[in-house]
Every structure is written in C-alpha cells, then in structure tokens.
Amino acid sequence: MTGGLYNPRPVDDVPVNGQVQHGVTSNWAFDHAADYGLHTVFICKTADQIVHDSIVLVNDTHLLYAIGANEVWRFVAALLHRANPAADIDITFTIPVGGNLNWGLTPVQQGSIAGTEVRIPTSAGANLRLDFIHGIIRNGATPGNLQLQWAQGTQQNDDAIMAQYSCLVLQQIA
C-alpha cells in the first residue's frame, strides 16, 4: 500500500434559497468542507523491516514522501517497533537541502530538527511499542523526500524491527 491523494468532487456552488456562500443554506459549505482532505496522504508499511546488529541509520523502505519546492506539510508518524531493550532505537528524518523540519516524539521527548537523532525505548520479545511523532516541514526551493531513518541505539547482536502497519500521515498546509 502506498500513499495517495484524495481528490474531492468539483464544487458546484448551486444556490439554495438564493444563497451561494452561506454555510447553512447552500451547497457551498458541503462542497468546500470536502476540500479538507485534498492534500492528505496516508503511507503504511506493508512488511516488517529489520536492522540486525547495527547502529548505522538506514532509510525506511516505506515511510517516505516526495515534498515539492516551497511546500509546507504537517505529519504524524505512528511507529510500531521492537528491539532488545538494551539497544533501543534511534530515529531521525532527512529532508531536501534548504528545507526546515521541526519534529518531536509525543509525549516522551521534546522536538528536534532534521538530521538529529532521538532515542526511543523499545519493547522486548513479541511485544510491539507504539510511538507517535508530530512534525512540520517547510521546504525550500529544492524538491525531495521526507525520509524516516532508524537503527539500533546501541549495537546488539539482535534484531531491531520497524513493524508492518507503521504509518505516516501528511497534510499539505501551504
């Protein structure tokens, strides 16, 4: 499954009781409320991804999205993961050159900037841990990807897993 854009039907602005833009007595309110989802993208991992015995950050194979020049997006990442509790998981995001990204892990950590790693505690065994990340990217003149990267926080001879159904939801705000 990959993300996609939701395209609402065209606005018809047919007057109701002689009103065109009144929120109660016209089709305008219904048609324009549907535009809320115009630039919303959902991306979901279709399989587990494993990093074994490594602290080298890797690109997530699913959780990335192409951002256009001068676009502004907000996002929420819901990350399902597990690793040896002695290792934890380090995460970061990369963005195009000239862009600005502020993000934070909710509620455990304060915000960070692109390219700065945050350590997330993990769950042992078969238990998955769910963490939410919120962020805003203000891209510059260079288009490119918002890309999740992750690895073991401390090298262990064990697997770190970013699990299937982790997802990234983005909304274009400018």
Q: How far apart are CA 17 and CA 84, in angstroms?
A: 65
| β strands within the chain, DSSP E | 40-44, 49-52, 58-67, 72-82, 89-94, 100-106, 111-113, 118-120, 129-138, 144-152, 159-162, 167-172
**pLDDT per position in the chain (174 positions), as tens?**
344 444 444 444 555 445 444 444 444 444 444 445 458 999 999 999 999 999 999 999 999 999 999 999 999 999 999 888 888 889 999 999 999 999 988 765 444 445 566 777 766 666 888 899 999 999 999 999 999 999 998 898 989 999 999 999 999 998
Give ∠ CA 99-45-90 in degrees, rounded to 5.
60
Domains and CATH numbers, the chain: 1-38 (no CATH), 40-172 (2.60.120)
Q: How far apart are CA 129 and CA 79, in angstroms?
A: 8
Calculate the dihedral angle through the C-alpha atoms of 72, 79, 119, 144, rounding to the nearest 10 degrees.
Answer: -30
Query: Beta-carbon neighbour count of residue 97 at 10 Å?
Result: 10
Q: How far apart are CA 99 and CA 135, in angstroms?
A: 13
Q: How far apart are CA 9 and CA 84, in angstroms?
A: 48
Kindly report the pTM of this predicted structure: 0.73
